[in-house]
């Protein structure tokens, strides 16, 4: 890659400097590897007991926690959990009964062989490209800061390193406005070494909930100012974050590709930015398909940043999928379907199994949460990814996963679709079929006589 950067600082990254993120992540992974991690039933998070023990092992343990403290109240552990899953270093697997356990994948060994700079940028890549920022935002208001990231990076790249910046000025100030939705992301960028952050003292005095996090000040680091500029110039989050791209209706998007039409670019306020940095860095933006870390290589001594883990596209898992589709505890249908079938086929099989007409919109919410953006929708729906574009085998499902199938946005028929098992051997069904059932199908429409 041709690069014309001038007088760039040579950065040295270790397990603990300029941020202890790598050391804490290593400790986090070692703990998960050495213990049987059974995820909570409600959110599939790490249990309070494991979180409490993990917290004590971190570089800066969070005070005032107990074995009942929820994962969302541990900003660092919440981040590490999502990065470990987003980077596919750990995966969810079925345990005994209906329990879901967290286990390491083969990629964890590959990660551990990387040099510190390689590790850091793999974690940043997982955060930037693969993590769902709406799920990461565990703050009081729970809004993703996607729409202000470019403003913050541009602002940060123009700052004097190690100079404290008052964030809490007044409600109408630009800096207060662009950081308004950040909450937990103020922590996350601190963990990645971009800045040090202090909490609004008034919130502490008023004993506001811990989850409500507003900054009194941030102090940018030299490392953060430099990294922010390159991110701003070459890694626009709207193009690189895959969960957001899926929310915009794209399936199998390529990180960094520019597939938005002009109307969408205007809606997202995506426009070229002039370089106004104090370091006058000029960067070759590269081309679509380049490794995420590529523009950062000149910041390091030769050979210190040279590889990452291979990106894994959508992996097709072949076989026969057995879904239990329930309306109530005693009203369900067991459906057998091939990995080659689409979600549209699954929709039709559920509809026929319950003798419903095909005259309404519907959605599959893959995380089991109503109206989450992790969904696939009817081809006639204006939002989401169409169900006819997605095959069952490429959804990366795991046995025990609960999907919410919502049929008819008016009457709101909610079906729990639980993946019972994936049979990888033997012939696959040519068409979906009901193999077991319980309970009489309800009337789709209730007609009242006058």
Q: Tell me, what's the pLDDT at 65?
A: 95
Which residues on adjacent β-strands are paired with residue 413? 407
Checking 233-239 for CB contacts under 8 A at 24+ apart, the result is 233/273, 233/275, 233/281, 233/283, 233/285, 233/295, 234/283, 234/285, 234/286, 234/295, 235/128, 235/292, 235/295, 236/150, 236/270, 237/128, 237/146, 237/149, 237/150, 238/146, 238/268, 238/270
3-state secondary structure of 369: coil
Average pLDDT on 21-38 reads 97
Contact between 139 and 184 under an 8 Å Cβ cutoff? The reply is: yes
Q: Where are the domains of the chain?
A: 21-299, 320-438
Question: Could you read off the pLDDT of 273-308 as tens digits, one per residue?
Answer: 544 444 445 565 667 788 999 999 999 999 999 999
Closest CA to 282 of 293, 298, 269: 298
Which residues on adjacent β-strands are paired with residue 395? none
The percent of residues in the chain predicted with pLDDT above 70, rounded, is: 93
* Angle made by CA atoms 134, 239, 178, in degrees to the nearest 5: 55
Average pLDDT on 207-228 reads 91
Question: Could you read off the pLDDT of 232-270 as tens digits, one per residue?
Answer: 999 999 999 999 999 988 998 999 987 777 777 777 777
Grade residue 4 by pLDDT with cuts at 50, 70 and 90: very low
Q: Tell me, what's the pLDDT at 281?
A: 52
Q: Token digits for 449?
A: 């006589």
Grade residue 426 by pLDDT with cuts at 50, 70 and 90: very high
More confident residue, 172 or 21: 21
Average pLDDT on 100-112 reads 96
Q: How far is CA 24 from CA 56, 298, 379, in A?
A: 11, 26, 44
Between 80-89, 126-135, 310-319, the lowest mean confidence (pLDDT) is in 310-319
Helices within 137-254 (DSSP H only): 149-157, 174-178, 184-191, 201-205, 222-234, 237-240, 242-247
Backbone phi and psi for residue 79, each to the nearest 5 degrees, phi listed first: -65, -50
**Best CATH choice for the domain 320-438 from the list 3.40.1350.10, 1.10.760.10, 3.10.290.30, 3.30.470.20:** 3.10.290.30
Question: Could you read off the pLDDT of 406-418 as tens digits, one per residue?
Answer: 999 999 999 999 9
Round the average pLDDT of the chain to a whole number and report it. Answer: 91
- Read off the DSSP letter of residue 305: S
Name, in order, each residue with C-beta under 8 angstroms of 208's C-beta and a sequence gap of 6 or more.
Answer: none
What is the Cα–Cα distance from 15 to 224, expressed in whole angstroms? Answer: 17
Question: Could you read off the pLDDT of 155-210 as tens digits, one per residue?
Answer: 999 999 999 999 987 666 888 888 988 999 999 999 999 999 999 988 878 877 88
What is the Cα–Cα distance from 31 to 440, expressed in whole angstroms? Answer: 48
Average pLDDT on 25-31 reads 98
Q: Token digits for 46?
A: 């790490």
Q: How many angstroms separate the first and last alpha carbons of the chain? A: 77
Q: Tell me, what's the pLDDT at 287?
A: 76
Q: Tell me, what's the pLDDT at 285?
A: 64
More confident residue, 58 or 276: 58
Helices within 129-220 (DSSP H only): 133-136, 149-157, 174-178, 184-191, 201-205
* Angle made by CA atoms 116, 119, 122, in degrees to the nearest 5: 150
What is the Cα–Cα distance from 357 to 351, expressed in whole angstroms? Answer: 7
Question: Could you read off the pLDDT of 359-416 as tens digits, one per residue?
Answer: 999 999 999 999 988 899 999 988 889 999 999 999 999 999 999 999 999 999 999 9
Q: Tell me, what's the pLDDT at 448?
A: 47
Which residues on adjacent β-strands are paired with residue 416? 326, 404
Give yes or no for residue 6 having a pLDDT over 70: no
Q: Tell me, what's the pLDDT at 284?
A: 59
Q: Tell me, what's the pLDDT at 268?
A: 78
Q: What pTM does this model have?
A: 0.91
Q: Tell me, what's the pLDDT at 204?
A: 79
């Amino acid at each position: 890659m041709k690069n014309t950067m001038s007088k760039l600082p040579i950065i040295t990254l270790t397990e603990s400097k300029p941020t202890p993120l790598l050391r804490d992540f290593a400790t986090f992974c070692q703990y998960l590897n050495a213990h049987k991690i059974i995820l909570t039933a409600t959110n599939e998070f790490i249990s309070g007991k494991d979180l409490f023990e993990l917290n004590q092992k971190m570089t800066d343990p969070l005070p005032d926690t107990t074995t009942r403290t929820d994962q969302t109240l541990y900003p660092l552990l919440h981040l590490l959990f999502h990065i470990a899953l987003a980077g596919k270093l750990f995966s969810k697997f079925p345990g005994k009964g209906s329990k879901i356990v967290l286990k390491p994948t083969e990629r964890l060994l590959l990660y551990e062989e990387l040099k510190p700079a390689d590790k850091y940028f793999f974690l940043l890549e997982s955060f930037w490209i693969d993590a769902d920022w709406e799920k990461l935002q565990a703050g009081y208001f729970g809004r993703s800061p996607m729409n202000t990231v470019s403003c913050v990076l541009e602002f940060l790249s123009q700052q004097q390193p190690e100079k404290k910046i008052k964030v809490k000025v007044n409600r109408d100030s630009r800096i207060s406005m662009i950081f308004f939705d950040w909450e937990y992301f103020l922590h996350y960028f601190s963990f990645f070494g971009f800045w040090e952050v202090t909490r609004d003292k008034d919130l502490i005095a008023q004993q506001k909930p811990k989850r409500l996090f507003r900054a009194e000040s941030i102090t940018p680091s030299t490392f953060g100012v430099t990294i922010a500029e390159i991110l701003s110039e070459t890694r626009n989050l709207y193009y690189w974050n895959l969960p957001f791209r899926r929310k915009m209706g794209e399936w199998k998007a390529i990180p960094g590709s520019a597939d938005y039409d002009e109307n969408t670019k205007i809606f997202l306020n995506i426009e070229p930015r002039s370089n106004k940095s104090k370091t006058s860095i000029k960067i070759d933006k590269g081309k679509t398909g380049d490794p995420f870390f590529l523009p950062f290589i000149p910041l390091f001594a030769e050979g210190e940043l040279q590889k990452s883990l291979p990106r894994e596209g959508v992996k097709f898992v072949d076989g026969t999928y057995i879904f239990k589709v329930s309306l109530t505890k005693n009203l369900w249908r067991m459906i057998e379907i091939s990995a080659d079938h689409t979600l549209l086929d699954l929709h039709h099989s559920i509809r026929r199994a319950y003798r419903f007409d095909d005259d309404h919109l519907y959605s599959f919410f893959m995380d089991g949460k109503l109206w989450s953006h992790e969904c696939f929708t009817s081809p006639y729906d204006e939002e989401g990814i169409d169900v006819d574009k997605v095959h069952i085998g490429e959804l990366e499902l795991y046995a025990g996963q609960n999907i919410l199938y919502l049929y008819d946005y008016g009457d709101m028929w909610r079906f729990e679709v639980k993946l019972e098992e994936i049979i990888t051997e033997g012939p696959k069904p040519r068409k979906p079929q009901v193999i077991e059932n319980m309970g009489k199908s309800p009337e789709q429409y209730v007609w009242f006589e006058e």
